[in-house]
Every structure is written in C-alpha cells, then in structure tokens.
Structure 1
Amino acid sequence: MNTPAHQSVFGAVHLGYIVIETNRFADWRRFGTDAIGMHHDAPDTGLMRFRLDDQECRFLLRRGLAEDVMATGWHLADHATFERIEARVRAHGVPLVQGTDEEAALRGVERLLRFPGPKGVTQEIYTTPVKSAEPLRMLASGFVTGDSGMGHVAITSTRPTQIRGYYNTVFDARLTDCIDETISGVKLKIRFLRVNERHHSIAVAAVQGLPIDPIRTRVQHLNIQAATLDDLARSYQRVCELGFDMALSVGQHTNDKELSYYARTPSGFEWEVGWNPVTIDEATWQPTTHQGISVWGHTPVGRTIIDKLDQFRRGARSLIRPEAAVPALSGTGVFED
C-alpha cells in the first residue's frame, strides 16, 4: 500500500544543523572563528551559534557538562516530506516532541519536531530555515551547503546494522559504499549512508567481530565542506598555529575522493574540514567496498601508546555499557552486512 508515509523522502532530506553541549565556550569560540573560520554570534550568555552561509544557525552550542553532540537537525524540503516522516515515526510508536517557538528561533527554523535517535543523539526535523540579514563575518570565503546539506556526521557503533536500518526507515537512506580498514591492529568496517546527492550524510564505523565502541563521545567526527582548496589549506594552517590538536593530517579518501584534515575539537570529538568530494549520480552509482580510508595522507598526529591504551580501555568499558538504540525504528533483520 503506497500511503503518503510510505512514499520515499530520499533527496528531500538535508543535514541542516548540529546541537552541541559544552562548558568550554572560550575555546570553542577560538576554534570555530579563529581556526575553522566560521561566523559567530552569541544570542545569550549560555548560548553560542556558528554560521556557514545565510542560514541563521548551523551549529548551536549550549552550556552543559556533556562535551558532546546532543542533536542533529534535518532540513526537509517541504511540508509534505515533514508530514511523511512524522507519520512514519508515529506509526512505529516512537514518541515525538514539538519544539517550542524559542527553540525553533534559536535554530533559525520553522516547524520543529524531535524524536529519539541512535546513540542518544536526538533527531530534529524542520522546514523553512530562516535566512539572516546580517552579513557573514568569516575568515573562510565560504562553505558548501545547498541541496547536499552542510556536511556529515560519523559515529562508531556496536549495532551498525540497526543504525543503517534506522536511517533507512526514517529518511530512506541508501548505502553508498563501505570501507574496510585496520587501525592499530583493530579491524573496522565503515558504512556510508546518503539521503541526497552528497556522498554521505551519515557514516557508521564498527569494530569487526567485537561488540566494542572505542569512542567516548556520541559522534566520532563532524564534517563541513570548504568552498575552495585555499580555504582548506588556510584553516589547516590556523588550526596548527593556534595550538589546537590535529588528529589526522591532510589526505584524500578512497571512496568520496574528498581532500580533508581532522582537527580535535575542545569537546574531544573530531572536526573534519573537506574539499571537493564526489557527487552521486543515482542512475549509475553502485555500492562497493574499498580497502583503507585514504589514497594518501591522513596520518595520525601526536598519537602515543598512552592514547591507544586509553582507547582500548574505553572500548572495554563499552562491553558493559549498553548503546542507546531505538529498536522500533531500527529495521532489524532488513539488512545483512
């Protein structure tokens, strides 16, 4: 039965904003404006926002102890798409909460709705982003957003199949490709999911054969796309000169061909700035598996044996700490990976 809720929303979903909880406002302001090069404003003493383009908010930072990503906001192309997704979530018995006018205003959006997501990251959907009349004040010349959304989110998980099922159920996400990689002797399989022409809006990494999660934070990294190669190079230089930790040096990925680097944010998760990834042609694209994440570069910076031991300890602790999940939307049994 092809009810409105069952009609595909693929292509009408775009990553729109990220909500972060932190108490390190001074460090985040330096990181976001002076290093990465984004526009900054502070609507309240307990709030901070960064812009990438004419949308009022792309990153909303609020005071708190988590030092983590709390929510991802998804811009939906029209009210019909909004209602299809709302109907899907309700049909699976998952609770939804309508955002207040104040919450919507802080995010610069209309018609805000939220519901639970994998790993405890709340999913928020909205229509009609509010455009800001204030000119951008950025060190970068610009960032790529538009029809492909503003970048991607990468997470590690002990339940990758369920997460893939979740994003397929809610957003009709498609598998773009996979990467098999071995890092410090640990074998990883990374799945890349797209919801529009961007190569991926969600990446899910899992340790093969072991139900462990070596990452403390809900997300492993966030990605934004620089408008020019010069923007990428200059931000890399600023990150280094300002003393922020560099996680991976400049390199090029095997699958989406994006040139990028990874810096470590004041909250501990990583921040990838990339340039020139491939755009997906739905008529010809076929999922494949690549060996290794990089064609060249992406060399770990400043890693010590202590860092690696800490990561393994976190992985061991995850064996007794259940991963937050939304089984009603996970599509268990649909995919075999």
Structure 2
Amino acid sequence: MNTAPSVFGAVHLGYIVIESNRFADWRRFGTDAIGMHHDAVDSHLMRFRLDDQECRFLVRRGPAEDVVATGWHIDDHAGFEEIEARIRAHGVPVVEGTAEEAALRGVERLLRFPGPKGITQEIYTTPRIASEPLRMLASGWVTGDSGMGHIAITSTKPTQLRGYFGTVFDARLSDYIDEAISGVKLKVRFLRVNERHHSIAIAAVRGLPIDPVRTRVQHLNIQAASLDDLARSYDRVHELGFDMALSVGQHTNDKELSYYARTPSGFEWEVGWNPLVIDEATWQPSTHQGISIWGHTPVGRTIIDKLDQFRLGGLSLARREDTVPSLSGAGTPDD
C-alpha cells in the first residue's frame, strides 16, 4: 500500500530549455511572431518571458535543435522533498544545479534528474520575479496555478512514459484521443498534474513501434490571454514567413482554440486560448475520436513531407528510446 503523500496539484510546468544554433530566427519567432518578451543574456543565451517570472524559455547555443530540459515549479518544500525522495528511492541519480544554472532559469535552486526521451527533468520551488516590466506584443499569457502550458511527446513506449509521470508527479489521466492521419492510427494520452486539462500529452502509433518525429517533443503549448492575442499572433506568423503547421481549430477534448506554427528548430509551437479547467470532483476520463471539432487543417504539406515522416519512422526502429525504466512503473490495464 502506497502511503506517500500525493504531489498532484502542487506541480506546474514552469520553464523550458531549448538548444539551437538558430538564434536570429528564434528571436524573431519568439518576439515578432508569437509576441513574447525577449532578454538577450549573451551571444550564447537568450530568454523569453510570459509573465513576471524572469524566465519561461531559455534558449542556449548547441546543435540539438530541440527541447533538452523541462522545469517544474513545485509549490512548497514538502512537495519538492517528496519528489526528490521518490527519485532517489528508485535509484535514479539526482544532481543539484549550479548557482549559475539556477540564475539563468530564474529560480533560486533546482534539482535535475533523467527524463524520458533524453529530456532532462528539473524541479524548483521559488521562481525569481523580474525587476523589468514586460515588453511584448501580446497582452498577456495564462500561467499561474495551471502552469505555463503543456508539452507533447511522441513515443514507442507510451505505457512507460505514463508510468514515469505518474511515479514522479502523481499525474492523472484526463482522457484519450484516437486519430488517423494518412492511414496511420494514433492514440494520444493526456496527463494532468493540476487543474490544466493536460501538462503532458503522449502520442503513439498503434500497432507499430515507430516514432515519426525527429525531435524529442512534437510540440509545446502556451495559452494566450485573449482571442485577439491568438488571432494577431497567427497573422504575424504568416506575415513574417514562418511555417504554419496547422491552421486555427478547436480540440475535441479540452475545447481549446489554437493553431500550430513550426519553430526554427523544427518542432511545433501551439498557441491556444480558453481550454476548459478540470473539476476533480466530477471529471471522468473518456476517449474522443479525432483531435479537432473543426479546423487544424495541415498547411503546406506535400507528399515529400509525408514520405519524410515515414522515413523517420523507419529510422526510429533502430533507435533506442530511453524511458528511465526504474521510474516508469508497470503502466495500467487501460493502456
């Protein structure tokens, strides 16, 4: 019998670390297209803000062109210590970040440990509040108790990934989506760690152990404060010549209105508005057919793009996917 206290509700997606050599493109994408606040740290580091916290996205120079770490804000020291104890109890190494690393992320202290697909997981309790006012094109972004948005991951081992986030953060299943794209059947699991419908989405090809996405994350999501903010950023993405992945549409499960742009590093960036907030007293998981009620039409996809996805899927057969087995549990029967 598990008597450990639950940390559900005390965990919030706090920041993302991205590695890229395309700094000029990332600055234009983040500030001029999406509309975030930008701070240049030095020639090898830049940060974006969404609110009064010093850092929500840290972009560092490097070849990955991908997300390399996710930072999770834990409400209090009791929850922080509980998560640390769980990880150590499973024999997984925990490393304390340096003072410089913490400062770059805008937090007082952080711990890091291995995560699925090579994405380092980091936890912290106290974010630093910026002294400079926001300078951005958007009127604001929704963060707070819901965290700053969500991450979506494609996986050949979705049961293990769900087990990982259940073990570490007491993540709960919100629902499933079944979707068929170009004849390929996908099942997507949506996991929540607080009132946000999902902070983690895990997509898998049904019946085939392939991963058609090059990057560790398929997309990131941030939530616009207003419909006007979403519409204006959509126009700016087009006007500035950045690729649009999916047009504006509305999701079946969380009812969020959103679009998907393609980042300079290749993964997608979803800007959403007005998703539902889960009521723990009444919510029951269910399965939805298709990701969208309407819209979310692929933009500019050619047969070459589709063939490239099949090529990447084939290559993934020879690639080992790290799931951090000691933290991944046994999954659940409905997986």
Structure 1 partner of 2:259? 261
Q: Indicate yes or no: 2:308 matched with 1:310.
A: yes
SS of 2:16 mapped into structure 1: strand
Return the letter of the residue paired with 2:240.
Answer: L
Distance apart, 1:333 and its partner CA: 4.4
Q: Deviations over 1:110-146 (max 9, x none)?
A: 2200000000000000011000010000000000000
Q: Residue 18 of structure 2 is aligned with which of 17, 20, 29?
A: 20
Structure 1 partner of 2:113? 115
4+ residue runs over 4 A deviation: none
Structure 2 partner of 1:210? 208
Instruction: Supply the distance in 1 between the matched residues of 2:331 and 2:186 (Cα, whole angstroms).
Output: 21
Structure 2 partner of 1:48? 46
Q: Give unpaired runs (5+ residues) of structure 2.
A: none
Structure 1 partner of 2:222? 224
Q: Deviations over 1:273-330 (max 9, x none)?
A: 0000000000000000000000000000000000000000000111111112200000
Cα 1:194–1:317 change in 2 (3 A) is same
Instruction: Supply the distance in 1 between the matched residues of 2:25 and 2:149 (Cα, whole angstroms).
Output: 22
Question: 1:156-195, aligned counterparts within 5 Å?
Answer: 156-195=154-193
**TM-score normalized with structure 2 length:** 0.99
Structure 2 partner of 1:275? 273
Q: Deviations over 1:209-235 (max 9, x none)?
A: 000000000000000000000000000
Structure 2 partner of 1:149? 147
Structure 2 partner of 1:327? 325
Q: Indicate yes or no: 2:19 matched with 1:29.
A: no
Using the aligned pairs only, state the percent identity: 84
Instruction: Supply the distance in 1 between the matched residues of 2:272 and 2:184 (Cα, whole angstroms).
Output: 25
Question: 1:79-158, aligned counterparts within 5 Å?
Answer: 79-158=77-156
Distance apart, 1:159 and its partner CA: 0.3
SS of 1:129 mapped into structure 2: coil
Q: Give unpaired runs (5+ residues) of structure 1.
A: none
Instruction: Supply the distance in 1 between the matched residues of 2:274 and 2:219 (Cα, whole angstroms).
Output: 18
SS of 1:110 mapped into structure 2: coil
Structure 1 contact 193–203 (Cα < 8 Å) conserved = yes
Structure 1 partner of 2:231? 233
Instruction: Supply the distance in 2 between the matched residues of 1:212 and 1:162 (Cα, whole angstroms).
Output: 15
Q: Deviations over 1:51-81 (max 9, x none)?
A: 0000000000000000000000000000110
Distance apart, 1:335 and its partner CA: 4.5
Distance apart, 1:2 and its partner CA: 6.1
Structure 2 partner of 1:10? 8
Return the letter of the residue paired with 2:90.
Answer: H
SS of 2:109 mapped into structure 1: strand
Instruction: Supply the distance in 2 between the matched residues of 1:314 and 1:335 (Cα, whole angstroms).
Output: 30
Structure 1 contact 52–143 (Cα < 8 Å) conserved = yes
Distance apart, 1:45 and its partner CA: 1.3
Distance apart, 1:334 and its partner CA: 4.0
Instruction: Supply the distance in 2 between the matched residues of 1:242 and 1:108 (Cα, whole angstroms).
Output: 30
Return the letter of the residue paired with 1:22.
Answer: S
**TM-score normalized with structure 1 length:** 0.98
Q: Residue 76 of structure 2 is aligned with which of 55, 75, 78?
A: 78
Structure 1 contact 161–335 (Cα < 8 Å) conserved = no
Tell me how many residue pairs correspond in the alignment.
Answer: 335
Structure 1 contact 21–69 (Cα < 8 Å) conserved = yes
Structure 2 contact 162–331 (Cα < 8 Å) conserved = no
Instruction: Supply the distance in 2 between the matched residues of 1:249 and 1:112 (Cα, whole angstroms).
Output: 37
Structure 1 contact 21–62 (Cα < 8 Å) conserved = yes
Instruction: Supply the distance in 1 between the matched residues of 2:323 and 2:174 (Cα, whole angstroms).
Output: 23
